[in-house]
């Protein structure tokens, strides 16, 4: 189900073409056991202080994947990463934003895990430009709050279930969430890749 959701009038967003059609939601891409394992993992990162406050807004926490020690990174997430690359033909044909070098070289948004607690929201934004490349992302909903925390892409609200993944070109697509309401946090894992400008998701079934 989709409904319209008005975007605030922001003047600080990068200007560029908006690919409104280049969004796909993969329903149930992560099975329940993977979601449960990733919820426990993200909770442990919050408990040990690995999640940092996000200066972009209150009650938002995150960590870049490359800021974690290798033994801190979930094997489940690595498996999701490999499946997503295979799903869209990216294996060996992209720059993975789980690595710091392409992030800094192209001023790209790293792969990350995020958590928003009560009243926390992701403001509508477009990711930084990847040096002329497309920044393709697959973001999985790991923990769905009781209310709020809905995905908003290009002004349209999308209902998602735990385990769903939304895939889009994040440096050409306005994306954000509504505020979380209640005690259950919203948790997500966002995997990013730099791909060639001719890449399109509709080439893949």
- Residue pair 123/179 in contact (Cβ under 8 Å)? The answer is no
Alpha carbon distance 121, 105 (integer Å): 29
Tens-place pLDDT, residues 43-97: 999 999 999 999 999 999 999 999 999 999 999 999 999 999 999 999 999 999 9
Alpha carbon distance 160, 151 (integer Å): 7
Which structural domain range is residue 33 located in? 2-197
Strand partners, 139: 166, 190
Residues 6+ apart with CB under 8 A from 197: 132, 133, 134
Tens-place pLDDT, residues 10-25: 223 333 333 344 679 9
Residue 204 located in a structural domain: no
Tens-place pLDDT, residues 155-192: 899 999 999 999 999 998 999 999 999 999 999 999 99
Residue 90 located in a structural domain: yes
Domain count, the chain: 1
Q: What is the DSSP string of 75-116?
A: HHHHHHHHHHHHHTT-TTSSEETTSHHHHHHHTPPPPEEEEE
Residue 202 located in a structural domain: no
Angle (CA) 21 22 26, round 5°: 110
Alpha carbon distances (Å) from 183 to 34, 46, 61, 147 = 22, 15, 15, 9
Alpha carbon distance 116, 133 (integer Å): 29
- Residue pair 121/57 in contact (Cβ under 8 Å)? The answer is yes
pTM of the model: 0.88
Mean pLDDT lowest among 12-21, 27-36, 93-102: 12-21
Alpha carbon distance 194, 160 (integer Å): 25
For the chain, what's the residue count?
205
User: What is the CATH number for 158?
Assistant: 2.60.120.620
- How far does Cα 39 stand from its chain's mean position? 15
- Residue pair 121/179 in contact (Cβ under 8 Å)? The answer is yes
């Amino acid at each position: 189900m989709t409904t319209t959701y008005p975007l605030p009038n922001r003047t600080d967003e990068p200007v560029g073409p908006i690919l409104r059609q280049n969004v796909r939601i993969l329903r149930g891409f992560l099975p329940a056991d993977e979601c449960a394992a990733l919820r426990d993992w993200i909770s442990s990162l919050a408990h040990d202080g690995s999640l940092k406050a996000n200066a972009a807004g209150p009650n938002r926490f995150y960590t870049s994947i490359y800021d974690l020690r290798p033994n801190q990174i979930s094997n489940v997430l690595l498996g999701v990463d490999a499946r997503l690359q295979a799903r869209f033909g990216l294996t060996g044909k992209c720059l993975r934003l789980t690595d710091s070098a392409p992030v800094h070289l192209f001023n790209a948004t790293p792969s990350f895990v995020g958590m928003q607690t009560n009243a926390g929201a992701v403001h509508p934004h477009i990711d930084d430009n990847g040096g002329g490349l497309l920044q393709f992302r697959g973001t999985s909903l790991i923990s769905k709050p009781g209310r709020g925390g809905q995905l908003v892409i290009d002004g349209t609200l999308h209902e998602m279930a735990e385990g769903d993944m939304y895939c889009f070109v994040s440096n050409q697509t306005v994306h954000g969430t509504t505020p979380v309401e209640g005690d259950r946090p919203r948790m997500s894992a966002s995997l990013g890749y730099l791909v060639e400008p001719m890449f399109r998701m509709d080439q893949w079934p």
